[in-house]
Every structure is written in structure tokens, then in C-alpha cells.
Structure 1
Amino acid sequence: MTSLPRARHWLVGAAAIALIAGCSSEPEALPPPDRSAVPSHIDAVASDPAVAPAEPTAIELRSPAGETYLSSPLNPEKLMRVGQRLNPVNELPVWWGESGLPGTDTKETVLVAGHNYSRRVAPFRALRVVQPGDAVLLRTPNGVLRYTVERTTPLPKGSLLSQNELRDHVPGRLILANCDVVDGEPTDNNYLVIAQLDRPAN
């Protein structure tokens, strides 16, 4: 089978987010996600001056005031496609192995995906309360990267297959994705958080 260039390869798989498993209908509806403070496990508050590309190991979401409302390790096994299905093996968010490796000089978009459930808690249920201006911190073995959220959006499942600016690779861009749940019920959307790397001051 002909291999795709790395910069385009992940996009084929990213379109398969439409089939990410985990939008279940189990008993006992959950309360809606909120921005309640949780303990932080990442010390740095700004991007290190130079971070060589490496697989991320942890993620945090913070308000503009610096309050952490999501802090989670990442699954150590990178996410790869199985057929046309993206299926993280557990509730931990996971780096999509065919996207860019996070680093200060990475030229490709980085993608982190996670499960979301209608009636079971998973870290990425918090994506629904992310706001523009929030910070996303990714910890890697080489340092910490800080991104600022530019926008959030539901996206119909499978729509990344069509012409969409999210198909373009943008240096420093980070996309977080889950299976969208609204009012306790799964939808026909994925939910995306689009963030951009903060460039350290010279």
C-alpha cells in the first residue's frame, strides 16, 4: 500500500474521529462538566524556550487566571488507526501518532484525542467547557509547551473528509478532539478545541 506523506497521513485518520468509540448510553446521567479547580501536576506556566519534538506525557487545561480544571496523564501508547476506527484503549487522552510531535519547531498540527461518555466520566468531557483564551499545557520528556485556545467547535462526524481548513497543517497548532455529548446525550458531532502554541519571548 502506498504510504502518505506524514503531513497528510494523519488527516486521513483524523477524519475517522467520526468513529471514535465511547459515546455510550449507560444508566445514571452525569451532571454537566464544569470548570471546578483540580490539582495541577505540571509546574511550568509558559513554553520552555526550545522543546525538541517528543511524544506528550500529560495535559492540563487552565483558565486565563491560571486555575487548572483538567489535569491528566496521557496514555503512553500512541493512538493509531485500526481499520477506520480510532479507539483509545482507556479513558486517558492519547496523542494521535500520525499527527505532528509536539515541539517548539514542529511544522505539523498536533492532535490529542480522548473518549467522552454520556454516562461515565472521562477526562476529555471537560472539552465542552473550554473557552477561548484558556491555556493548554502539554508536558513532554523534553519540556512543557503552552498553547492558547483560539476557538472551540462541534464538527459533524466525518466532515474532516471534505474541504476544511482544519485539514491544513499549521506550525504550532494543537487540536483536541472527543465524541461530543450535550445534555447527557451523545450527538452526531465531534467536539474540537483549536489552540496555538505560545511563542516564548526572545
Structure 2
Amino acid sequence: MHLRKFAVAIALGVTLTGCAQPEPASVTPPDRSAVEAQISAAPPSPVAPAQPEWIELRSAESQTYMSSTVNPDGLYRDSSQVLNPVDERPAWWAESGLPGTDTEQTVVVVGHNYSTRDAPFRSLGVAQVGDIVVVRTATGTLEYGVESVGPLPKGSLLADNDLRAQVPGRLILANCDVRNGEPTGDNFFVVAQLAG
């Protein structure tokens, strides 16, 4: 499934903000270099729905290239329909589903991507189809297989399109898209499905 088909009928909706920074600086582009994993593999078992505590991106070969805590405060859109995480950590969108083996709703985690400083979700830009997203909650660990990656116009999270549909076991990661050191008018999405 390619993200471009979701671009149909994009309407004004939730956008991620705070991603462009005016101060000049040089930030190394994200890559897939190995980092230390903080989540141990767990045997498959039912995981009750719970807020995410930690998130990792891994290659298809299980090499971890992004590992981060998740902000413990659920994120809500503000009065201007904006999602703006309070710090560099990814944040679970509290209006979406809770990750768990029997969750019927799509789970959404958003984070910043700056043009002049580092943040964990900068790594979304190097995610590939076939990668693995590992989410740890207080009730267990879940693995999701990445099915699509790419940019979509800001506002897509609440637009009238397939991206907004409630799909059991689906996880969406999103940030502000930054290319060649410059912010674009898009958000970058990673769409994954619960494994097993």
C-alpha cells in the first residue's frame, strides 16, 4: 500500500508544528547506524491496551537504528487543531487507540523533526518498508511491520482519507518532513501493521 493514494481529498486537519528552527546550525542527516536497543524481544502473548512507554525502529535484520522513550503525557490537539509535542521525545496521540494485541483503533505516535537540531523521530526519514517498529508498554511488547513510508501534506491525520480510517493493529508514526536540511510543507509518515 503506497501512501500517495491517501493524498486524495486532503482537508484541513491536524498538523505537527514546532519543527522549523530559525537559528543556523548544521545537523547530520539521519541514517540507519546501529544504536543500543532498550527493548528486549518478548515471546508472543496477548498484550492488554496501554500507553506506549518506549519505541524503537529496527531494520528487517533486527538492527536497532532509533530508540527513544515516549513522553508519558498523552498529546491532545490544541484549539487550532495542532499537535505539538512538548519536547524532543515522541508522544502518543491520546485521541488515537492504545497499542495492544486486540486494539480495534489505529494507534498514532508523533514527534518532532527539526532542521537544525536532533530529535529521535528524525529517523522516520530513513525507515523502509519491511522494517520493524517495536513498542513497549506497561503490559508488554508489540512488534509492527512497516508497510509504507513517505510524505503527505500537513493536515492529513484528520483528513477524509484512508489514513484516518480505524484499522485494528495499525500504527502510524509521523513527524514534520525535513529534506536537505530544510522543512517542507509535509509530514512524513510511517505506517505499520501489528505482526502475527
2:138 counterpart (129, 137, 141): 141
CA separation in 1, counterparts of 2:128 and 2:13?
Answer: 24
1:119 counterpart (116, 120, 124): 116
Q: Which has the higher helix share?
A: 1
| SS in structure 1 at match of 2:18 | coil
Match of 1:69 in 2: 65
| SS in structure 1 at match of 2:163 | helix
Q: Is the 8 A contact 1:21 1:86 kept in 2?
A: no
Residue 157 of structure 1, CA deviation = 1.1
CA separation in 2, counterparts of 1:127 and 1:31?
Answer: 14
Match of 1:4 in 2: none
TM-score if structure 1 supplies the norm length?
A: 0.87
Question: Structure 2 counterpart of 1:94, which letter?
Answer: A
CA RMSD in angstroms comes to 1.5
Give per-residue Cα distances to partners, 1:170-196, cap 9 Å, x unaligned. 100000000000000000000000000
Q: Within 5 A, what are the aligned runs for 1:103-182?
A: 103-182=100-179
> CA 1:123 to 1:19, structure 2 compared with 1: closer, same or farther past 3 Å?
closer
Match of 1:90 in 2: 87
Residue 79 of structure 1, CA deviation = 0.5
Residue 140 of structure 1, CA deviation = 0.3
Q: Is the 8 A contact 2:56 2:133 kept in 1?
A: yes
> CA 1:100 to 1:161, structure 2 compared with 1: closer, same or farther past 3 Å?
closer
Residue 159 of structure 1, CA deviation = 3.7
CA separation in 2, counterparts of 1:173 and 1:136?
Answer: 11
Match of 1:9 in 2: none
2:189 counterpart (182, 192, 202): 192
CA separation in 2, counterparts of 1:178 and 1:186?
Answer: 11
CA separation in 2, counterparts of 1:19 and 1:41?
Answer: 27
1:15 counterpart (13, 22, 26): 13
1:55 counterpart (47, 51, 58): 51
Residue 161 of structure 1, CA deviation = 4.7
Query: Does residue 1:79 correspond to 2:103, yes or no?
Result: no
Quote the sequence identity (%): 58
Residue 27 of structure 1, CA deviation = 1.3
Residue 26 of structure 1, CA deviation = 2.4
